[in-house]
Amino acid sequence: MKTTQSGTGIREKVLDLSSLTGAARFRAAFVDLREGINLLPLAVTLGWLDIKMRYRGSILGPFWMTITTAVMVAALGVLYAELFGIVLKDYLPFLALSLVLWGYISTLITEAASVFSLQSKLITAARMPFSMFATQAIIRNFLVLAHNAVVVLGVFLIFHIVPHKIWLIVPALALWSLDSLAILLCLGVVGARFRDIPPIVGSLLQVFFFITPIIWRPELVGALSGWLLLDPLYPLIAIIRAPLLGESLPRLIWEAALAHSAVLVVIATLVFARFRARIAYWV
């Protein structure tokens, strides 16, 4: 910031973008993140308001998503259990949990590409930390995830599935939150600059849906299962899915999830710190 004096004698503070070089950019990005965390109650309120406005006038509201998910799980579960030759009791809980978790990931990544562009009016009208818009999107999608979790709970009750080592969900959700923030900040900046990013992301997600073990179990690929660790979405889903299904989780999967997360955080930090000051001009 630098101070200038207008013709009326009033001293005004203006943002000097030329001074934001090197370490100053990282300090500014850190301040943005800190202010975004301080505004977490506002992000929660706005995230809940987004869901209310989206389903305004609807009788069931966001539970329409839950019904849609339940129908998809039932239809695909019966079909693919027969195609893969798997007992329905073993396959349906896996499929229900996988589709619900994938719903969060795919929706968040899709929204990440336009998280700043859709808030262009607010960004240009008021000074707010950009990270607040990212936390708002995280809260909104976690609320949707909580609604869809009813489907998983229903399937678990029907087939008497009892989760084991459920405490492992806590670090897994913490890693999900960190990765979600990094994805939103990184793709949000790139999407604000290049408007081709949202359709590209949508196309890539369709590919990842089929190459990631969502509707098929990872052991079906046999000796090629080790290559699945190169898919950044597979370890992320597995660290939550395995404890809830009562399955053992190899340490290698956690290591892969942490490695992918570290790379993502580094890239997001560099991108956000370097181009944060330009977002208001790009949107």
pTM of the model as a whole? 0.85
Helices 40-54 + 23-38 axis angle, to 10: 70
Q: With contact defined as beta carbons under 8 Å apart, do 173 and 85 qualify?
A: no
Between CA 280 and CA 283 the distance in angstroms is 6
Sequence length of the chain is: 283
pLDDT of residue 246: 83
Q: How does pLDDT run across 143-179, given as a tens digit for each residue? A: 889 888 888 888 888 888 888 778 888 899 999 999 9
Q: With contact defined as beta carbons under 8 Å apart, do 189 and 273 qualify?
A: no
Helices 63-84 + 130-159 axis angle, to 10: 50
Q: Is 138 exposed, middle or buried (0-12, 13-18, 19+ CB in 10 A)?
A: buried
Other C-beta atoms closer than 10 Å to the C-beta of 58 total: 10
pLDDT of residue 247: 83
Q: Where are the beta strands (DSSP E) in 62-101?
A: none
Q: With contact defined as beta carbons under 8 Å apart, do 18 and 2 qualify?
A: no
Name the least confident of 60-74, 85-99, 143-157: 60-74
- Is residue 209 very low, low, confident or very high in pLDDT (cuts 50, 70, 90)? very high
Q: With contact defined as beta carbons under 8 Å apart, do 192 and 283 qualify?
A: yes
